[in-house]
Amino acid sequence: MARLLFTGKAAGTYDPISGLKNRDELSKSLAVPTTIFMKQVHGNTVVIVDEASNNLFEADALVTNKKSIALAVQAADCLPLLLQSDGVVAAVHVGRKGLLNGVALAAVAAMQDLGAEQITGVVGPHICGSCYEVDQVMFDEITQIHPDSAASNRRLNLFAGLVAQIPQVALTKMNICTLENSSYFSFRRGSESGRQVGVICR
């Protein structure tokens, strides 16, 4: 059974300069030697992590089957997705672009390559389908491909889109909207540059 956690604003930020101490605290919380972060670029690159490394992987999904490594995803409105199965875990950053480029599908495929069978997932605090308003072009672009992500009045429900994109994964979510709940960092609320994290390890 994997161990995982999601942080809020109270736990601080995790940037590579001021947040290093918080990164260490994460590893202690999960009782692992190392927590690996990524430089997230809204792409669909998946990195298989098989040893502790100081490399900052440019990716939006990390996968590992090593017990000694925890994987972190940072988010502030986007969906922090943590995936687990017998022996393989993943941390995935899914925003509007990530839903379009299939980063979660790529992460699931990478887990299956490592032998994962039954995969479950949980999405941490993110902006909800009542709050995530986009312009008409963006709305049309994503809802034509992912109709389930259409909420009313040009709003997007990215979680619903993700559920439809990876039906082979039993997916649950925390009912916390980052824009509505000021205990969490929200990119859209503005004036805050922080990110919370989701972290998972075997």
Shortest distance, position 181 Cβ to Zn ion, whole Å: 8
Per CB under 5 A, the segment of 14-22, 41-49, 86-94, 128-136 that binds Zn ion is 128-136
Among 26, 46, 123, 128, binds Zn ion (CB under 5 A): 128
Among 131, 162, 200, 201, binds Zn ion (CB under 5 A): 131
Q: Which stretches of 34-158 are assigned E, i.e. beta strand?
A: 34-36, 38-39, 46-48, 57-58, 61-64, 69-75, 79-85, 88-94, 120-123, 150-151, 155-156
Cα–Cα distance for residue pair 171/9, rounded to 1 Å: 24
CB nearer Zn ion, residue 25 or residue 180: 180
Cα–Cα distance for residue pair 165/91, rounded to 1 Å: 17
What tokens appear for 187 in the block? 């990119």
Cα–Cα distance for residue pair 141/168, rounded to 1 Å: 24
List strands edge to edge, sheet with 61-64. Answer: 46-48, 61-64, 88-94, 79-85, 120-123, 170-173
What tokens appear for 164 in the block? 């439809």
> What would the x/- binding string for Zn ion be over residues 69 to 108, using CB under 5 A?
----------------------------------------
Shortest distance, position 60 Cβ to Zn ion, whole Å: 23
Shortest distance, position 136 Cβ to Zn ion, whole Å: 20
177 binds Zn ion (CB under 5 A): yes
Per CB under 5 A, the segment of 43-51, 60-68, 121-129, 140-148 that binds Zn ion is 121-129
Q: Given the rule CB under 5 A, which residues bind Zn ion?
A: 128, 130-131, 177, 180
